[in-house]
Amino acid sequence: MRSTWVCILFLGLLVSCQTTKTPEVSREIDESALAKMTMKVILEDISPTFWRDPNEVGSMYFSFFLYNNGQLIDQTNLKTIHVVNEFGTNWTLDPVTSATTVGDWFRCSDDTLSLDKSVLVLKRYTFDFELKDGKKYRKKVDLSSLFSVGSVYQYVYSNEYNGRKNSQYVNSISRPQVKSATRSGDDLVVEFTVNDSRVTNFDVFLYDKNRKSIGDCPVFVNDLSGQVSKQLNSGTAFYVDGRVNRVIIPGRTVAFETGKTFGDLEHILINVTDAATMIHTGDYLQLITKSDRFHLQ
């Protein structure tokens, strides 16, 4: 289950990200060390079926990762994280609590722009990180950089959003639709559609009955060359125009968790992604949309 810049599978429950309207905190920044720091920010449209209690969470999130010389910083080395956007909305995150709820990094939604956390503002976000050794880092990311220079878009909304939509609003990637997922001998055969020309790649996520990942699937599209695996549509193409994609996943190609097999498979998800956009040297933005959970047939 891999894509260009997304190496971490987000699992479990949603971290509690409190949004407030307080002034930005003044912090001393280690400018020399900052030159080695890079970020990846993901705008993630998540189906409510991803969560154990869909009524308690939203569907449009930003997730972020901090790297030092290309290596993902260990979350246990972080003391505090503070995020603020141009509207003054703030998120303060506890790395210890977050580590136990969403995996290795963070995902946050905004409850000021919609009733169901289905909209994010496409403005500049400031990320302040403090490590346990006392060093502080600040990164500023303009989320509108995902779109064309001079874009009029100021908001991105999920597939669940049903509020106002005008020229300042842009939709996230269309949600992929899983048509079937069946076992055939030692293979898993999945058929799905996606109708969005921005999509360039996808991942298949495998889960057991407890919603825990049971293994990593192989790569089906090479991000650099666009070459398609023979497991996908017999190697012809990856269809993003609504036509059905058929992917065959042999069990021998899956990196299963210890003791796990296809016999533990209960349901799957499809993630579709656009091509990551480099906004500064080493800093990237990417759009991701998850399918609904689909139970094995």
Which tens digits make up the pLDDT trace of 92-126?
887 766 654 444 567 888 989 999 999 999 989 99
**C-alpha–C-alpha distance, residues 205 and 213, integer Å:** 7
Which tens digits make up the pLDDT trace of 134-182?
888 888 888 888 876 667 899 999 999 999 899 999 999 999 999 999 9
Q: Do residues 197 and 241 make contact, with C-beta atoms less than 8 angstroms apart?
A: yes
Q: Do residues 174 and 193 make contact, with C-beta atoms less than 8 angstroms apart?
A: no
Find how far residue 18's CA is from the centre of its chain: 20
User: What is the phi/psi pair of residue 200, to 5°?
Assistant: -125, -15
Model pLDDT, residue 12: 34
Model pLDDT, residue 150: 63
**C-alpha–C-alpha distance, residues 28 and 279, integer Å:** 24
List alpha helices for the chain, DSSP H: 31-34, 95-99
| Number of Cβ atoms within 10 Å of the Cβ of 108 | 24
At residue 103's C-alpha, the angle toward residues 101 and 109, to 5°, is 65
Which tens digits make up the pLDDT trace of 63-88?
888 888 888 887 778 888 899 999 88
Model pLDDT, residue 98: 62
Tokens describing residue 111? 């409850």
Cross-strand partners of 201: 273
User: What is the phi/psi pair of residue 57, to 5°?
Assistant: -135, 175
**C-alpha–C-alpha distance, residues 201 and 250, integer Å:** 19
Q: Do residues 219 and 211 make contact, with C-beta atoms less than 8 angstroms apart?
A: no
**C-alpha–C-alpha distance, residues 204 and 221, integer Å:** 12
Model pLDDT, residue 282: 82
pLDDT-based confidence at residue 237 (cuts at 50, 70, 90): very high
pTM of the model: 0.83
User: What is the average pLDDT across 220-247?
Assistant: 96
Q: Which residues contact 211 (CB under 8 A, 6 or more apart)?
A: 11, 52
Give the single-character DSSP code of 232.
B
Q: Which domains does the chain have, with CATH numbers?
A: 19-171 (2.60.40), 177-275 (2.60.40)
User: What is the phi/psi pair of residue 33, to 5°?
Assistant: -75, -30
Q: How far is CA 88 from CA 22, 69, 96, 121, 270, in A?
A: 7, 30, 25, 11, 34
- HSE at residue 98, side-chain half, CA atoms within 13 A, is 25
Model pLDDT, residue 202: 96
Q: Do residues 202 and 220 make contact, with C-beta atoms less than 8 angstroms apart?
A: yes
Round the CA-based radius of gyration of the chain to a whole number and report it.
19
Q: What proportions of the chain, in percent to the nearest 5, are helix, strand and coil? A: 10, 40, 50
List alpha helices for 163-237, DSSP H: none
